[in-house]
Amino acid sequence: MSRSFSSFSILCLLAITSTANAHGEHDMNHLHRRQLPPYPSGPAYDVPPLESIVPLPADYSANSLPVPTTFAPGSTPTALPGAPPLPAATININAYPPTDEIPPVDSPEVKQWISQIDWSTIPAIPPTYSKVCGDPQNAAAVAAAGANGTCWWTCSLCTRDVDITTCANKGEYGHGYDDGPGLYSPKLTAFLESKGLKATFFIVGSRV
């Protein structure tokens, strides 16, 4: 009697487990297939017509937007309760390096940063002279741009096994947005957020 009851109990437990698993799979499929809310509308979300999206001038003048309000230094923001007063610092443009030029490396700040770098881990690769691969000054860099050298993709399309160049798994998709931030950047981030998508924001260049 005890043996029969144990066998019956095991069969019941197996049946319950199978039902629970099937129900769990149904829930997962339901969650996976659930549609996102419709894309919102309004000035912050409307995508402009394709023909109106044109290259920006080099000085980004088309992206210059008027400042709606200018708050005085030292004033206390009223839109955020408990916010501290704004700093009263005066920006001296002359204290910053010139735009689009290699900054000096002899300032105390730069010397401190350099002292904290483990130079033994950095390859001894000379800097290139320009973006043009055919520039005579880049001849040595181009000659060493292959897989056995510096693997300089710009002038050799070289890649290595550690580089992510394709989406290897089904359902993966890679895309990049360059350049920015710009006039349409808020709409882009709003669109990605509405679709539940995440992106990595890289900041590089002379303006950083």
Q: What is the pLDDT of residues 135-170, one digit of tens each?
A: 999 999 999 999 889 999 999 999 998 888 888 888
Distance CA(208)–CA(206), nearest Å, equals 6
**Averaged confidence pLDDT in the chain:** 75
Total Cβ atoms within 10 A of residue 3: 7
Q: Which of 20-24, 55-59, 99-103, 148-152 comes out lowest in average pLDDT?
A: 20-24
pTM exceeding 0.75: no
Q: What is the pLDDT of residue 88?
A: 78
The answer, yes or no, to whether residue 59 has pLDDT greater than 90, is: no
Name the residue with higher pLDDT: 195 or 206: 195
- Contact partners, residue 189, CB within 8 Å, separation at least 6: 199
Q: State residue 13's pLDDT score.
A: 34
Q: Which two tokens stand for residue 110?
A: 């730069």
| 4 has a pLDDT exceeding 50 | no
Q: What is the pLDDT of residue 9?
A: 35
What's the CA gap between 20 and 116, in Å, rounded? 57
Stretch 76-90: mean pLDDT: 84
CA distance 60 to 79: 30
CB atoms within 10 A of CB 152: 18
